[in-house]
A and B are shown apart, each in its own frame.
Chain A
Amino acid sequence: MTTLSARLEQTAPIPLAADIRCASGELLALVGPSGSGKSTILRCLAGLHRPAAGHVRCGDESWFDAARGIDVPPQQRRVGLVFQHYALFPHLSALANVVQALGHLPPAERAARARHWLARCNLDGFDDRRPAELSGGQQQRVALARALAREPQVLLLDEPFSAVDQVTRRRLLRQLIELRRSLAIPIVLVTHDLEEASLLADSMTVLHHGRTLQTATPEAMLAQPASALVARLTDQPNLFEGTVLQHLPAADTTLIEWLGRPLLASHQPAFAVGQTVCWLVPEAAVVLVREHQSERENTVSALVSERLAWRGHATVSARVDGRREATLNFAIGAAVAERRGIVPGARVPLQLQKAAIRLLAADAAIAGPAGTSGKGQSP
C-alpha cells in the first residue's frame, strides 16, 4: 500500500497551508473556488512547484522535505499528471505522445505498450492522429493514456473534464470510474465541480485560500460540514443564521430561534444559550408535507419562488415569510411537483427534519444581510 501524504506551506505567490492524504486505490477530490490553490497543490505533488515548507511522501519515499533539503525532480517522482488543457505535444502523433512517457522500458517495447495504453483508454485506431486532429474528449484520453503509461505511483488529474462539453464529460466520467477500479494507486482529482467530486471521490478535501478546511467523504461533507464556510464552499443552499434559545438534553433537543419562530434541532450543547449561530438543513431534509400535517414540529409555510425541472427532478426554492434571505431549497420528483401544483406563487408547508439540522459557529463571511440565505449570494 502506497499512501500519498503531504503538508504544504508557503505565503507567496499564493498562500498554502494544506494537508493532503490519499491512500492506494482511493480517489481524493480537491474542491474549492478558483484561486484556492488546488492546481498549485497538484504542481507541488508532481514536483513542478516547490513550496516554502512542508513535505511530500509517497509510501516510503520522500519526494520533498523542506527541512531535510530533499526535492526529487518531477522526472524521478513517477507521477501521472493529466493537465487541465492536456498539454499534448502538438507535433507528435497520439502514439508518439504516449511513447514519450515510456522511457522506463527498452525502446523495442515502447510502441506496443503505448498501443496497449491507448486501447485501455478506448482510443484504438487513433495512433497516427496529431492532437489537432482529435476531439476534446479524445485528447483528454490521450493525456490520460500518457499519464498511465508512466506506470505512476500516483495519478493526478487537474480539472480533466473542464474543457469538454457536458455530454462528453459524462461519458469520460463513466470511463474514469471504470478505469479507476483497476488502478491500485492514490488518485488526486482537482475540480470545482461538486457533482463530479461526489460521483468519483472516496473523500473530498475542501480548500479556501490554500488552506485545507475539511476532509471527509462526500456524504459526510454535505451532512456534517465542519464550518459554515465549508457549507458555503460546498454549495449547501439552506444555510441560515439563528440564536440558541434553550438546551433540552433529556429530549435530545436544542431549541433555536429563527425569524422569530422556534426551531428544534438535535441536542448540540457546544453552543451557548443566547449565542448567534449558523444552522444548516440539507436539501434532502426539507420535506414537503400535506396541508393537514402543517402542525407537525418544525413545519413552516413558504411561498414558492422558483421551480427548475430537469430530467424528472425539480429543484424548488420557497421563501419563508416571503423573505428572500429565508429561501429554503429542496428537491422533489417533477411529477410530484406537477401534481401538487408547486409553481411560483404557491404556498407550501415544509417540514425541516429536526435530526438533520446542524448548528455551526457563526462566520463573519456568512453572516450579514447578504449572506444569510446561502445560495446564490456569491457572484
Chain B
Amino acid sequence: MDWQALSLSLQLASATALLLLPAAVWLARLLAWSAWRGRAALEAAILLPLVLPPTVLGYYLLLGLGGASPLGQAYHALTGRQLVFSFDGLLVASLIVNLPFAVQPMQRSFAAIPRELREAAWVSGLSRWQTFLRIELPLAWPGIAAALALSFTHTLGEFGVVLMVGGSVPGETRTIAIAIYDQVQAFNDAAAAGMSALLLALSFVAVIVVSRLGRPAPRR
C-alpha cells in the first residue's frame, strides 16, 4: 500500500469537494432559478468534462495552466513555482473536472424548491441570506450532500487528467489511482490489488450515500 499516495489522494479529494461547495451552490442556484441569455451555453460548458476524453481535457488544462499561459505565469510570479506537475495545479484541474459532479445534483435539488416558498420567506420578513440558510439549504441538502460525495469519490479515482497535468511525482502528484497504474506496470499485483480494493470500497460507500440522499426532497 502506497500510504503517501493515499494521503495525497484524500487531501486532493477533500480540498476539491470543500472548495467546490460554495462555487457549485452559487452556480446551481443561478442555473436552477434564472433564465437568461447564455444560460444553456454555461450549462453545456459545465457538463463538458463529463463527456470529453480525460486526455483531451488534460491536454487543454496543460495548455491553460502551463508555464506559457497567463495563469501559469501569474502563479510563477507569485510563488516562484510551476503550476503544472504540482499539487496546486492538480487541485485547479480537479476543481474544473469535478464541476459537473458538484453542480448537477445541487441544481436539481434547488430547481425542486418551488419559487413560492422563497417568496413566502421574503414576505415573512426573511432576508435573502436568512431564506438561503433556513429554507433553501435544508431543502436542497440531499443534493448538496450527494454532490460532495460524488466529487470526493470521483477525485479519488481520477486518472487521465491527473496523469496529463500532474504526471507521477511522488508526494506531489502521485495519487492512489496513479500508484495503482505504476504498480501494475511494475507487475506488483499484490499492491495493486490492495489499493484497488480500497478504492472500490470507498466508491461503493459513496454511491450508497448518494443514492440514499439523492431521493427527491419532500414536497409540500
Contact = CB atoms under 8 A, between A and B. Distances in A.
B124 A132 contact: no
Contacts of A100: 121, 124-126, 134
A80 B123 CA distance: 7
Contacts of B135: 89
A85 B123 contact: no
A83 interface: yes
A202 B138 CA distance: 42
Contacts, number: 68
B126 A90 contact: no
Interface string B105-128: 000000000101101111111110
B134 A74 contact: no
Interface in A55-97: 73-75, 77, 79-81, 83, 85-91
B220 interface: yes
Contact of B139 (A46, A48, A73, A91): A91
Contacts of A131: 220
B119 A87 contact: yes
B125 A87 contact: no
B219 interface: yes
A46 B123 contact: yes
A292 B135 CA distance: 72
A103 B125 contact: yes
A87 B218 contact: no
A12 to B, nearest CB: 15
A74 B123 contact: yes
Interface residues of A, number: 26
A86 B219 CA distance: 13
Contacts of A86: 220
Given A88-B220, A90-B218, A91-B139, A79 B116 contact: no
B136 to A, nearest CB: 10
Contacts of B134: 89, 100
A339 interface: no
Interface string A93-116: 000000011011000000000000
A247 interface: no
A302 B116 CA distance: 51
B126 A87 contact: no
A85 B134 CA distance: 20
Nearest to B125: A103
A90 B114 CA distance: 11
A150 B220 CA distance: 22
Nearest to B113: A90
Contacts of A83: 116, 119-120
A131 B116 CA distance: 15
Given A100-B134, A131-B220, A132-B220, A89 B123 contact: no
Given A48-B119, A85-B116, A100-B134, A90 B124 contact: no
Nearest to B116: A87
Contacts of B123: 46-48, 74-75, 77, 79-81, 150
Interface of B: 114, 116-117, 119-127, 130, 134-135, 138-139, 218-220
Given A91-B138, A100-B126, 4 more contacts: A75-B125, A85-B116, A89-B121, A90-B117
